[in-house]
Amino acid sequence: MINNDPLIAPVNPDRLPPVSSVYPDAGLQEKARTPNKFLSILGSVAGGALNYVIPGLGGILGSVISGGGSNAGSYVGLMDQQRQMQEMMQYNQTANMLNQQNQNQMLQQQQQQAMQLLAVQHRSSMQSQEFSTVSNLLKSRHDSEMTAVNNIKS
C-alpha cells in the first residue's frame, strides 16, 4: 500500500517547513539567569514550609520563588512546571476516584453487614417468642395434670 500523503511520505523533503515554524518553542534560545540571593533564600524557606502543608508542591513553588535552576522563569521552565502540575492534578483526580470507590465499597459492606445483623436479631427474637410460647403451654399442661392428680387424691 503506497501512501501519497505529502506529510506522511514527502515527495520533496526540501519543501517542508522548518521545524521552528511548526513548533515555535523548539528554536527558543535559553539565556542563563543568575538567581537573586534574597529570592533564593526566600524560595528555599517557602518551599520547605510548603512541603509540610502540600507535599510535592512546595518544592515547585519554592523553585519558582527562588529562581533556582537554569530554566526557572523561562518559557521552557514554565511549560515544564505546568506539565508537572497537570500530572499532579491527574494523579490527585485518580487518587480521589480510587478513594471514592473504596468508600463506596466500604459503605456497601457496612450496609450488607447491618442487614445480616438485623436478620440474626429477627431470628433470635422469633426463637425467643417460640420458646416462651412452648414454655407457657408446657407449664399450663403440667398445672392441669397436677390439678387432676390432686383431685384424685382428695
Q: What is the DSSP letter of 18?
A: P
Mean of per-residue pLDDT scores for the chain: 77
Which residue, 36, 35, 57, is CA-closest to 46? 57
Confidence of residue 107 (pLDDT cuts 50, 70, 90): very high
Predicted confidence at residue 81, as pLDDT, reads: 83
Predicted confidence at residue 65, as pLDDT, reads: 65
Predicted confidence at residue 64, as pLDDT, reads: 66
How far apart CA 62 and CA 51 sit, in angstroms, is 9
Residue boundaries of the structural domains of the chain: 33-73
Confidence of residue 80 (pLDDT cuts 50, 70, 90): confident
28-78 pLDDT, tens digit each: 555 555 656 777 777 777 777 777 777 766 666 666 666 655 444 567 777
Give the residue-averaged pLDDT of 97-105. Answer: 95
Q: Write phi, then psi, for 74 (nearest 5 degrees).
A: -90, 170
Which residue, 85, 33, 87, is CA-closest to 59? 85
What is the pTM assigned to this prediction? 0.39
Q: 40, 68 in Cβ contact below 8 A?
A: yes
Q: 46, 65 in Cβ contact below 8 A?
A: yes
Residue 146, classed as helix, strand or coil, is helix
Give the residue-averaged pLDDT of 79-84. Answer: 85
